[in-house]
Structure 1
């Protein structure tokens, strides 16, 4: 094969927030698949907050990336060559391709895509983010009609799905988002009952006052995506017996967490809250059920979604850095 493979590797470990010099664009020959393997030409790959943690050399739920290793990502693409049973040239597939133009994966590491929906939905609404919302809301949120749910990063792929699923089950849904545009999206596209711009509030006390006005009956479920001042604002408003599924703490991914643990911990005690950290990969056996239920709804327009697609593999680092600062609108995807 004469084409070159392009990939973005981890050049060094970030100190705080990532910067462009932490990444390296490399070129090389396109790999050949061995027996049982498939060569995929990647058309799009996902960018997700969890990738920031994999750049550190620290113990976590998954192994850290090594220096020089291709940045991790789920991608979608087309089979160029197959030496694995069940896959043929031209098949549309998804798997953990990394930030790369080509990838060789074993057949068992790939899944064929459903032609009823665009391929990129496998990276967002019908991929890991959508599944995260679907599984953790029912298992850890335990929603009941008439309750109030608050979620930050509400127009992201996880938040938007959580809001729509909760709304369909009869809950009052309150979005916290960054900026007027995202608040309007939360209301008009994703159907939230109320939306608050966290950037309009300089501290947790101000944000808490605004939340109290739109949550007159308190908060039963707080879906934790960000940490920071949003967590500080919401916790005193939680109702007795409330639930807090902990999905992420993006405000602290680069360090800088303030020491509010005593205040938060007391709220957990006095409100008898259930706080559940979860890693969605522990629940992957339920993924087929998720696809069976949600694919027809996405194909039929019952579930809204938004994709923020940037053209160019080389734009990955700057797009990733911007995403960690809230610069995306919807699911962040790179078109390779």
Structure 2
């Protein structure tokens, strides 16, 4: 058994949020790192991914994954270095993608780890365009969106980790890419740096009219990751046989599972789904991961090499800043893929 005197810093769930999370819902702790047993290794986090799905894990609403327990370490993907190993397949110095959560150190038996090449791309990209968000975009477009040349693909949160990749995949497949975001810097980035054909500000008072202007032939694919008022502008423009992959509803995450007051539009929505032969399909990326991960890594790596896949990162320093950064993520304050840097690669 390898003895350890290392102290671990971690963020745990202190309380279940009521609506929008607040800093007191989290607690920063320092604890001892347990000694390693046979077949175990110690990981030191270099980068921690912050993602909208984490809001769902903070509550008790029934979902595709178990919630974080009160006092439990907040979940999250990481890029980490193996700093001690008693595992035959892993050596000290290996760089891995893990799911070790909001903490500096974690003990692993190797389950679910993926080794990455530090020289292939920036380490943090394994949590973004070349990681879970990128694969979410890839799987949703490949299996549900299925863009064709000349079609119009619309995606909200277009400067974010998933949305930015969706639009670029649309372009790679010969479709028009229309991005929805807000703020001059994000609008410019989506249009000028990512190469979207058009971009629309969802906070503009004439958002619906501007979106219709950007989509003169209607919308064939809408990649839904926001919900709320953006959906209201998109829905009337969906063409017959349009496809709508649904991977997230960030605008609604802080409202819980209870119905919100207002007009019940479900009957009208269902009628339009029927009359326009729409496909609206929710998905979680894990359902495609085992069968399509290798295809994604091959294709995305080639697109990066060709300059057809680009991304932007929003990096905050230090684990103590993770709660505030995460709360800001739910409010759309980040610009690009949000990661926390804890160490050096």
Aligned ranges 1:89-238 → 2 under 5 Å? 89-114=92-117, 115-201=119-205, 206-238=206-238
Task: Map Cα deviations across residues 196-226 of structure 1 (whole Å, 9 max, x no partner).
Answer: 111123xxxx322111111110011111010
- Given that 2:36 and 2:107 are in contact with CA atoms closer than 8 Å, whether structure 1 keeps it comes out as yes
TM-score (norm 1): 0.96
Task: Report the Cα distance in structure 2 between the residues aligned to 1:253 and 1:135, rounded to whole angstroms.
Answer: 22
Counterpart position of 1:283: 288
- Given that 2:240 and 2:277 are in contact with CA atoms closer than 8 Å, whether structure 1 keeps it comes out as yes
- Larger mean CA deviation between 292-301 and 178-187 belongs to 292-301
Alpha-carbon distance, 1:33 to partner: 2.5
Aligned ranges 1:285-324 → 2 under 5 Å? 285=290, 286-324=292-330
Alpha-carbon distance, 1:299 to partner: 4.3
Task: Report the Cα distance in structure 2 between the residues aligned to 1:73 and 1:265, rounded to whole angstroms.
Answer: 35
Counterpart position of 1:266: 271
Alpha-carbon distance, 1:143 to partner: 0.8
Task: Report the Cα distance in structure 2 between the residues aligned to 1:297 and 1:218, rounded to whole angstroms.
Answer: 28
Unaligned runs of 5+ residues in structure 2 are: none
Distance 1:149 1:302, change over 3 A: closer
TM-score (norm 2): 0.93
SS state at 1:242 partner: strand
Alpha-carbon distance, 1:136 to partner: 1.2
Task: Report the Cα distance in structure 2 between the residues aligned to 1:301 and 1:217, rounded to whole angstroms.
Answer: 29
Q: Does 1:331 align with 2:337?
A: yes
Unaligned runs of 5+ residues in structure 1 are: none
Task: Map Cα deviations across residues 121-176 of structure 1 (whole Å, 9 max, x no partner).
Answer: 11001111000111110110011101001110001111111100111111111100
Task: Report the Cα distance in structure 1 between the residues aligned to 2:131 and 2:17, rounded to whole angstroms.
Answer: 27
Output the aligned Cα RMSD. Answer: 1.4
Alpha-carbon distance, 1:317 to partner: 0.4
SS state at 1:43 partner: strand
- Given that 1:117 and 1:299 are in contact with CA atoms closer than 8 Å, whether structure 2 keeps it comes out as no
Counterpart position of 1:20: 23
Task: Report the Cα distance in structure 2 between the residues aligned to 1:183 and 1:260, rounded to whole angstroms.
Answer: 31
Task: Report the Cα distance in structure 2 between the residues aligned to 1:306 and 1:157, rounded to whole angstroms.
Answer: 8
2:82 aligns with one of 79, 83, 92 = 79
SS state at 1:308 partner: strand
Counterpart position of 1:58: 61
SS state at 2:162 partner: helix
